[in-house]
Structure 1
Amino acid sequence: MNIRSESNDSAAVQPIPLSRRRGLVFPAFAWLGFTSAFASIVIGSLLQSKLGTLDALAAAILGNWILFVYSAAIGFAAGRWGLSSQLTLAAVFGRWGALVPGILLGSLVTGWFAFHVVLTATILLNALHFSGAPAIVISVIGVAFAAPVIARLSHGFNMTAIAFPAMILFGGTVIAHYLMPKWTVLLDGSIGGTLPFGTGVCIAFGIFVVSGTMTGDIVRYCRTGNEAVLATAFAFLLSNLPFLILGVLIAAAGIKVGDLFAGNDALSFFLLALVVVSNWTTCDACISNASVTLKSAFPKLSWIIASAAAALLGILMAVMDAVGDVFGWALFLSAIVPPIGGVIVADYYVLRVRVGFSRFRAAPVNVAGLAAIAAGVGAAFLARQIVPGMIAPLIGAPLAGSVYLVLARLAPSRLGTDLGAAPHGTEALD
């Protein structure tokens, strides 16, 4: 996805016509690179320490399958009609109603930018034994990671293609050098842990639930909805899940992730370089994700302002260590984000049936949709308080979708769920 074209004209604010779609390969590799994140290895390692090896593996697998089904349902609709995440939200929640979930998602994805910036700074400070002020180092890394997007020197999700081979090389090196000598004892660790299993599932799910909900920014370049589903499968089942599992196995071998870079030898510096590349491309994708959303929500906003605002928010979150508790952050996301997807799925597959996104909302605000999100979020947080190990997305998303369908049936005109005429240009997508 070329950032220059995103910032200049219609790519961020209009559906992608079929003639400009790029098929499966580009979206699949964009997603592969985005989800082959070093953060998944870190989180997998933490899951093993809190759940035990077997439960951590099971939580990673179940969480990613739930994430795949959730994201694929959204991705099929967005890919079928060539819609960015914000255009999908506009079709569901109305032009102005879409600003609420859109700004929320755009802000939350910068949280992952912040996490990767802090992670990079921490690894570099420890590996290089640098004694500089962490806040300054974090700020410098944040600016360096965001600058190519702001200056339109990078190509958005094209950059993530670098991360996948880098992380494959990283994983292969770690397996050969550290895990193979201990392969006979990798599953001999503790069976249980202090963390409820359902909480581990939520954490595995929450890693990419924001970008999964915003999957239209990637899969809109697919030619069909089925291609979008396949691209999503590549992302979560063939990329994120294996790296989560690698993190679990590293911890099961008794190795701390930070120790991989502490050897002061060629191997340690080689692994460090691969991780910096991975974190940079992930940060690039996060800022691109947030910027496309802001540009689509506010078409008159220049690309530089949209991307700089997203980067500034991310750097501030990094300096303030707002996502330092990565488990707490992932759990928060697993409760607050899925209701948005629940409403999208209910709207597309139940209310619209064969109409699809050929027609947008007649009203500027879909009150029923926003009310359903609030109900789903409230139910997810309440369920977690009552039953700490509850798998929150399995509560919030279905409940939000159900509430939305009930409200749409009761008062479609008053609550803004009526559909308007087909927008100009969508006939080419039919």
Structure 2
Amino acid sequence: MDLRRNLTDSTGVQPIPLSRRRGLLFPAFAWSGFTSAFASIIVGSQLQSELGTFDALFAVILGNWILFVYAAAIGFAAGRWGLSSQLMLEAVFGRWGALIPGLLLGCLVTGWFAFHVMLTAAILSVALRLPSGSVVLICIVGVLFATPVIARISRGFNVTAIAYPAMIVFAGIVIARYLAPKSLDLLDGTIGGALPFGTGVCIAFGTFVVSGTMTGDIVRYCRTGNEAVQAMAFGFLLSNLPFLILGVLVAAARVRVTDLFAAHNALSFLLLALVIASNWVTCDACLSNAGVTLKSAFPGMPWIVASAAIALLGVLLAANNGVGDASRWTLFLSATVPPCGGVIVADYYVLRVRMGFARKRVALVNIAALIAMGAGIAVAFVGLQYDPGVIAPLIGAPAAGALYLLLSRFAPGRLGTEVGGTSLGAEALD
């Protein structure tokens, strides 16, 4: 493949033509490496302590399946038409209207970069007996993780395949060393906990809802929509879910996650190296995700400026502990992000029907889409306020999609929902 053309495609400014898509293997490994994150073990462990083992297991399974169905609906369209996440947002929200959800998603995925920088600094502090919460250490980790993306050394999602085998080795060691000796006792203990079950589902769902909404940046390299769905099955059902479950079982074995690195022996340092590799890959993918979005929204912006600005935001968030609580962060994401996906799904599968993304949006701003997304977010947060146990994505996304279809029916021209104009230039396979 021509390197210059590949660099152009990686910015997400143009759809990927069929002749240059890479099939199933690359997107599947990219997703698997991205979602086999140590953060999933952290989330699973916290859910076990707040829900109890059985409820935590059911919550991570249900939350992950809801996430897979949600993201697969978006991924099918992106994979079929070869669209990056920002190009898909432009097709739905309009060229200028897409800046709002695009910048929102870009900032939120940068929050995950910040979370993993903080997480890496925390486990380094435990393993190397350094002061905890060191801003200097956080900044050093952030700069080291961001530099390959800014310098375009890592090639974005090409490096994510490194993390999956690393985390498989990590899981094997943890199971053999910590879980197998207690295998008969793992399901003992409390049945339930103080946290509402629905909240646990939201937290599990929120682990990758941002990147699941931005999945086009990975699955646009698939040849068909069906391949995109298969790639996401690898990422969510065969990668993220097992590591969420591993986190639940680690906590059920009465092992604190930080204890894995506190022994200061060869095994603990090996686990540390594996996790750092995984966290770096996840940070790399998050910055690439956000960078592609920002570059696609503002094509004239140099890559080094876009990626450096995002990295700076992430380091500042990490240094100020902006996303330190994994449960609160993922719960926030489960209410904020799905309404955007609800509008995308309604637009593609109902409003466009068989037309797909063959035509551009006529209006530069799809007012109806923005109103519906905002209303869906409000509905989700109001639902959480009055019933903390509600499964927020199951009310926010449908509310946004339904309102969007209602507005598009009664005032398509005035609210900017009409489609027409010229082709997006993408090719699709059934």
How far apart in 2 are the matches of 1:138 and 1:2?
Answer: 38
How far apart in 2 are the matches of 1:8 and 1:220?
Answer: 14
Does residue 175 of the first structure (1) align with residue 175 of the second (2)? Answer: yes
Does residue 339 of the first structure (1) align with residue 356 of the second (2)? Answer: no
How far apart in 2 are the matches of 1:380 and 1:222?
Answer: 32
Shift of residue 421, structure 1, vs aligned partner: 1.8
Q: What residue identity is the alignment partner of 2:285? A: A
How far apart in 2 are the matches of 1:242 and 1:25?
Answer: 20
What's the counterpart of residue 316 of structure 1? 316
How far apart in 1 are the matches of 2:169 and 2:199?
Answer: 31
What's the counterpart of residue 420 of structure 2? 420
Q: What residue identity is the alignment partner of 1:296? A: S
1:369 and 1:404 in contact (8 A); partners too:
yes
Partner of 2:420: helix, strand, or coil? coil
Deviations 1:178-220 (A, max 9, x none): 1111000000021010100000000000010000000000000
What's the counterpart of residue 410 of structure 1? 410
Deviations 1:56-100 (A, max 9, x none): 000000000000000000000000000000000000000000000
How far apart in 1 are the matches of 2:207 and 2:266?
Answer: 31
Shift of residue 10, structure 1, vs aligned partner: 7.3
Deviations 1:342-374 (A, max 9, x none): 000000000000000001100000000000001
Number of equivalences: 430
Shift of residue 325, structure 1, vs aligned partner: 1.5
Shift of residue 426, structure 1, vs aligned partner: 3.2
Alpha carbons of 1:176 and 1:266: their partners in 2 closer, same or farther (altered >3 Å)? Answer: same
How far apart in 2 are the matches of 1:281 and 1:324?
Answer: 19
How far apart in 2 are the matches of 1:334 and 1:259?
Answer: 29
Task: Give runs of aligned pairs for residues 212-223 of structure 1, distance below 5 A.
Answer: 212-223=212-223
Q: What residue identity is the alignment partner of 1:169? A: V
Give the unaligned 5+ runs of structure 2.
Answer: none
Deviations 1:20-79 (A, max 9, x none): 010000000000000000000011000000000000000000000000000000000000
What's the counterpart of residue 123 of structure 2? 123
Shift of residue 130, structure 1, vs aligned partner: 1.7
Q: What residue identity is the alignment partner of 1:22? A: R
Partner of 1:413: helix, strand, or coil? helix
Partner of 1:358: helix, strand, or coil? coil
What's the counterpart of residue 378 of structure 1? 378
Deviations 1:359-405 (A, max 9, x none): 11000000000000011001000011111100000000000000000
2:339 and 2:401 in contact (8 A); partners too:
yes
* Cα RMSD after superposing both structures: 1.6
Task: Give runs of aligned pairs for residues 221-232 of structure 1, distance below 5 A.
Answer: 221-232=221-232
TM-score by length of 1: 0.98
Partner of 1:426: helix, strand, or coil? coil
Shift of residue 166, structure 1, vs aligned partner: 0.2
How far apart in 2 are the matches of 1:423 and 1:314?
Answer: 36
What's the counterpart of residue 86 of structure 1? 86
Runs of at least 4 residues of structure 1 off by over 4 A? Answer: 1-11, 427-430
Q: What residue identity is the alignment partner of 1:135? A: V
What's the counterpart of residue 209 of structure 2? 209
What's the counterpart of residue 61 of structure 1? 61
1:7 and 1:295 in contact (8 A); partners too:
no
Q: What residue identity is the alignment partner of 1:66? A: I
Alpha carbons of 1:4 and 1:333: their partners in 2 closer, same or farther (altered >3 Å)? Answer: farther
How far apart in 2 are the matches of 1:5 and 1:152?
Answer: 15
TM-score by length of 2: 0.98
Give the unaligned 5+ runs of structure 1.
Answer: none
What's the counterpart of residue 189 of structure 2? 189
Shift of residue 264, structure 1, vs aligned partner: 1.0
Partner of 2:78: helix, strand, or coil? helix
Deviations 1:242-299 (A, max 9, x none): 0000000000001001001111111000001000000000000000000000000000
Q: What residue identity is the alignment partner of 2:328? A: G
Does residue 262 of the first structure (1) align with residue 262 of the second (2)? Answer: yes
Shift of residue 9, structure 1, vs aligned partner: 5.8
